[in-house]
């Protein structure tokens, strides 16, 4: 059962990373325009910008 | 006189650059996004332009020394988009903040629920052969995740429960908070005493499910608010302010008391005030419901929302003085709002019944087990298990889930809800009071005898009317299929408009202007406008027309068992034909705002639940006094602020759709409550007998929540009855 000593903290750390990433994206306004994001990918002049 | 446009109130300044938000009309596809952003970024001085496709808003930043705010709007107009400067109101900003906070809570609860469940599943599946140390280690780990997560994610519930308790009330959040706290506390004690069962997973999962419901509710509300905000920006009008001899075009919202304004024929009066000079006739149908025009001259009071008909007026903006209509309306409004009893929501009523029963059951379980000779520890654990299993997850989701689905369906049908409990109140309605002008009739007058006129002649008159600013011409212009004005049309002030069509002169205007004999107005509320093209001529009568589907809707509403009443501020002769056309026997005309309230109070005293549908300034107090109220989108701002919901359509069908949907939603809410009760009736005896393990608690909780959510999905309108679509 010694394997738990490092597996459990690792699992928690991974989970917390996911949570932190979500909170960051929320703060960053990634979910403010969900429909627009789906359409922007269709534009082809983004490369220059 | 040249005129400059002042958008100062909408522009925010941040270190060297200016920022403005615009609501844009006509954004429909991916290409629009690039076209709009590209055209603005192409202008010199524009630093950033970003269009939010979800709420159709454009944020622009630019350097003010290089380009002016007005140029941005003209640039958009050139490529075919109308943009309206826009300022988010405080309610919308607040809603956005709440939604964001709830989403964060949801993320935290979701993370915690997943990780704890991972540990719990290990404990459950290895319950028999897991060493006690490992189990304790897993429980402590669960506690480490659950306690901070619940402290953060539980805030919306704890705060609301605390507010309720402080005012000696009970709401659904009280049993929720109690259940969560007891589950966590007991689990902590059990973990410390090396017991087999801990309920950390149930507590956090409960929070997760409830937060899902709440977050979705707010996302839906935020969406409707954004649309309502855009519509307000689209509707916002401009005023012509006289600064000395200079004329400045300013948003009506920026007009202050004391400003001198110019009101041209065809303009809407932008604010309340007193006429300084000029003579004219004004149409006050949006203010008083009166369709006949009023002649005004210097020193007359005029109200925001009236339409200036014939002459140019100069006015001074005043605050409401005593004795004026606006003052009376505000006073009545204050009384009506104060007298309005707070509606107790279905959920809160359920909570008031539910909480005492549950807590009494838990107490009985405790004493029962003690009397049966169980140890104090076992008795307490069983009692708390009862509280956990009855923790109102399904009950708390039963109503919001229906609410979300129903308000989404209403939104798609073109009805925007202002009040959260409007659906419940709408479902109880048994009497509908309609205003006439602008509610049963279309907000703008139409050509009444269009069918009797040669279509070819009518089209020419309508296209000629496009060149005139006169309100009567505007009504004629609505008949035009092809919205292309004739070239070289000139307007003769106070008389009409003329142009050369196919080499012959055509005239649209007063009877004398067109050289036709006849009386000016045949009946009250009807105006005459004449058209002559060479030898051919027509006399068009313009008046308020019924909404196209008013008759069918009235019949359908009666078929639903509702009683219909018309209360109008317009004179009796104008109301009678409308009432007759709709087959409504109970009608009254010539009512003042106070008299409308009196009638509604009388109906309320008879125990009726009244839905008031109205749009005018004079309807505002009645809208506030009624059990629930609806306004068309063309209503005055004061009326819309009082209405519980606003409908967008030119048709009257949304009134019926709203009621059908509200009744269906109500039925589903009750069904859901019964489902929750049945769930408890099954689960509680199991809990009382002490058979509940954390596994059973978790399964029962998710099962019942999913059941009520699936049932709520049925709250959509059947496809054939949906009315107009939201933009």
Highest mean pLDDT (candidates B233-242, B592-601, B676-685): B592-601
Give the residue among B653, B614, B610, B612 at the shortest CA–CA distance from B632: B614
Using only C-alpha atoms, chain B has a radius of gyration, in whole angstroms, of: 32
* Residue B435 annotated among the catalytic residues of the structure: yes
Do B53 and A26 make contact, defined as CB atoms within 8 angstroms? Answer: no
Cβ within 8 Å, pair A39-B107: no
Residues of chain A contacting B134 with CB distance shorter than 8 Å: 1, 4
Predicted confidence band of residue B648 (pLDDT cuts 50, 70, 90): confident
Cα(B225)–Cα(B222) distance, rounded to whole angstroms?
Answer: 5
Q: Cα separation of B188 and B387, whole Å?
A: 16
Query: Which of B30, B131, B141 faces A39 most closely, judged by CB atoms?
Result: B30
Who among A18, A26, A35 is closest to B100 (CB)? A26
Please judge whether A32 and B103 are an interchain contact, meaning their C-beta atoms are less than 8 angstroms apart.
no
- Alpha-carbon distance A7 to nearest alpha carbon in chain B (angstroms): 12
Residue among A16, A36, A45 minimizing CB distance to B54: A36
* Closest alpha carbon within chain A to B100: A26
Mean pLDDT over B1-10 rounds to 70
Ordered alpha helix ranges (H), B342-440: 346-371, 376-390, 393-412, 422-427
Would you state the pLDDT for residue A48?
Answer: 47
- ipTM of predicted assembly, 2 dp: 0.87
Using CB atoms, pick whichever of A16, A18, A36 lies closest to residue B33: A36
- 3-state SS, B636-662, equals CHHHHHHCCEEECCCCCHHHHHHHHHH
Does the beta-carbon distance from A35 to B141 stay under 8 Å? no
H-run or E-run covering B52? strand B46-52
C-alpha B40: how far from chain center:
32
Is B141 in contact with A1 (Cβ distance < 8 A)? no
Q: Of B21, B201, B435, B570, which one is the catalytic site residue?
A: B435
Q: Which CATH architecture has domain B1-87?
A: 2-Layer Sandwich (3.30)
Residue B700 has pLDDT above 70, yes or no: yes
- Chain B residues with CB under 8 Å of A42 CB are 30
Are B107 and A26 a contacting pair at CB < 8 A?
A: yes
Report helix, strand or coil for B585: coil
Residue B251's φ and ψ, nearest 5 degrees, are -60, 140
pLDDT (tens digit, 9 = 90+) per residue, B145-197? Answer: 999 999 999 999 999 999 989 988 777 888 888 888 988 998 999 899 888 88
Query: Do A34 and B54 make contact, defined as CB atoms within 8 angstroms?
Result: yes
Nearest CB among B111, B118, B137 relative to A18 is that of B111
Regarding predicted confidence, which is higher, B128 or B221?
Answer: B221
- Give per-residue pLDDT as tens, B284-331: 887 877 777 888 888 888 888 788 887 888 888 887 555 667 777 777
| pLDDT reported for residue B324 | 66
Interface of A with B (CB under 8 A): 1, 4, 8, 11-12, 15-16, 18-19, 22-23, 26, 31-36, 39-40, 42-43, 45
Q: How far apart are CA B656 and CA B560, in angstroms?
A: 9
Name which of B286-300, B401-415, B432-446 the model is least confident about. Answer: B286-300
Fold for the domain defined by B446-543: Calcium-transporting ATPase, cytoplasmic domain N (3.40.1110)
User: How far off is chain A from B416, nearest CA to CA, in Å?
Assistant: 21
Minimal CA–CA distance to B664: which of B609, B613, B712, B719?
Answer: B712
Measured between beta carbons, which residues in chain B are less than 8 angstroms from residue A33? Answer: 52-55
Token duo for residue B193 = 């005493």
Q: Do B145 and A12 touch (CB under 8 A)?
A: yes
Q: Where are the domains of chain B?
A: 1-87, 93-224+344-403+663-721, 415-442+548-647, 446-543
- B415-442+548-647 topology per CATH: Rossmann fold (3.40.50)
Q: Is the pTM of this model over 0.95?
A: no
- Number of Cβ within a 10 Å radius of residue B324: 16
Judging contacts by C-beta atoms under 8 Å, the chain A residues touching residue B145 are 12
Q: Mutate which of B28, B32, B33 to disrupt the A interface (most A C-beta within 10 Å)?
A: B33
């Amino acid at each position: 059962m010694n394997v738990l000593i490092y597996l459990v903290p690792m699992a928690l750390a991974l989970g917390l990373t996911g949570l932190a990433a979500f909170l960051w994206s929320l703060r960053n306004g990634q979910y403010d325009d969900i429909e627009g994001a789906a359409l922007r990918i269709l534009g082809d002049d983004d490369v220059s910008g | 006189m040249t005129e400059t446009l002042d958008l100062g109130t909408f522009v925010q300044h941040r270190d060297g650059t200016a920022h403005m938000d615009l609501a844009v009309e006509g954004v429909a596809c991916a290409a629009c996004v690039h076209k709009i952003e590209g055209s603005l970024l192409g202008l010199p001085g524009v630093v950033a332009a970003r269009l939010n496709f979800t709420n159709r808003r454009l944020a622009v930043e630019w350097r003010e020394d290089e380009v002016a705010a007005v140029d941005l709007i003209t640039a958009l107009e050139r490529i075919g988009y109308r943009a309206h400067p826009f300022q988010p109101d405080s309610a919308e900003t607040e809603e956005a903040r709440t939604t964001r906070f709830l989403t964060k809570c949801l993320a935290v609860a979701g993370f915690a629920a997943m990780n704890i469940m991972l540990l719990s599943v290990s404990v459950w599946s290895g319950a028999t052969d897991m060493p006690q140390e490992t189990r304790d280690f897993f429980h402590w780990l669960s506690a480490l995740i659950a306690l901070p997560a619940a402290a953060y994610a539980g805030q919306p519930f704890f705060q609301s429960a605390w507010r309720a308790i402080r005012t000696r009330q009970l709401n659904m959040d009280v049993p929720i908070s109690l259940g969560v706290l007891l589950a966590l506390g007991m689990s902590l004690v059990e973990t410390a005493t090396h017991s087999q069962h801990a309920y950390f997973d149930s507590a956090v999962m409960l929070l997760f499910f409830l937060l899902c419901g709440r977050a979705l509710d707010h996302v839906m509300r935020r969406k409707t608010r954004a649309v309502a905000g855009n519509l307000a920006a689209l509707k916002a009008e401009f005023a012509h302010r006289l600064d000395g001899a200079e004329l400045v075009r300013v948003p009506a919202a920026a007009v202050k008391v004391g400003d001198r304004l110019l009101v041209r024929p065809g303009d809407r009066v932008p604010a309340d005030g007193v006429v300084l000079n000029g003579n004219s006739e004004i149409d006050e149908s949006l203010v008083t419901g009166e369709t006949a025009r009023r002649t005004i001259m210097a020193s007359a009071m005029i109200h925001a929302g009236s339409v200036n008909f014939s002459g140019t007026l100069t006015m001074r903006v005043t605050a409401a003085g005593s004795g004026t209509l606006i003052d009376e309306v505000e006073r009545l409004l204050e009384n009506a709002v104060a007298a309005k009893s707070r509606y107790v929501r279905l959920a809160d009523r359920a909570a008031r019944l539910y909480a005492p029963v549950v807590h009494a059951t838990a107490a009985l379980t405790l004493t029962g087990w003690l009397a049966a000779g169980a140890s104090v520890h076992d008795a307490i654990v069983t009692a708390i298990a009862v509280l956990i299993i009855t923790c109102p997850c399904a009950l708390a989701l039963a109503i919001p889930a229906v609410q979300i689905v129903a308000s989404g369906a209403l939104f798609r049908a073109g009805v925007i809800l202002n009040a959260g409990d409007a659906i419940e109140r709408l479902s109880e309605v048994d009497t509908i009071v309609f205003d006439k002008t602008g509610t049963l009739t279309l907000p703008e007058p139409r050509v009444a005898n269009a069918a009797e006129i040669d279509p070819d002649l009518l089209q020419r008159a309508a296209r000629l009317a496009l060149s005139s600013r006169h309100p009567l011409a505007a009504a004629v212009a609505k008949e035009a299929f092809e919205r292309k004005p004739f070239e070289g049309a000139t307007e003769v002030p106070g008389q009409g408009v003329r142009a050369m069509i196919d080499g012959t002169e055509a005239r649209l205007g007063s009877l004398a202007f067109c050289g036709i004999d006849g009386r000016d107005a045949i009946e009250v509320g009807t105006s005459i406008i004449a058209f002559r093209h060479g030898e051919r001529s027509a006399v068009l009568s313009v008046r308020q027309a019924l909404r196209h589907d008013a008759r069918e809707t009235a019949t359908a509403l009666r078929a639903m068992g509702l009683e219909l009443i018309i209360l109008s501020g317009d004179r009796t002769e104008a109301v009678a034909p409308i009432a007759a056309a709709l087959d409504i026997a109970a009608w009254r005309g010539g009512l003042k705002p106070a008299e409308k309230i009196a009638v509604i109070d009388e109906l309320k005293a008879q125990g009726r639940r009244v839905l008031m549908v109205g749009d005018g300034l004079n309807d505002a107090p009645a809208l506030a006094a009624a059990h629930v109220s609806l306004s068309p989108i063309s209503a005055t701002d004061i009326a819309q602020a009082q209405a519980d919901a606003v409908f967008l359509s030119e048709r009257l069908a949304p009134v019926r759709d709203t009621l059908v949907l509200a009744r269906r939603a109500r039925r589903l809410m009750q069904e859901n409550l019964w489902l929750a009760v049945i769930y408890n009736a099954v689960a509680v005896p199991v809990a009382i007998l002490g058979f509940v393990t954390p596994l059973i608690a978790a399964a029962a909780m998710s099962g019942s929540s999913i059941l009520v959510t699936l049932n709520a999905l049925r709250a959509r309108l059947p496809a054939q009855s949906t009315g107009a679509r939201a933009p």
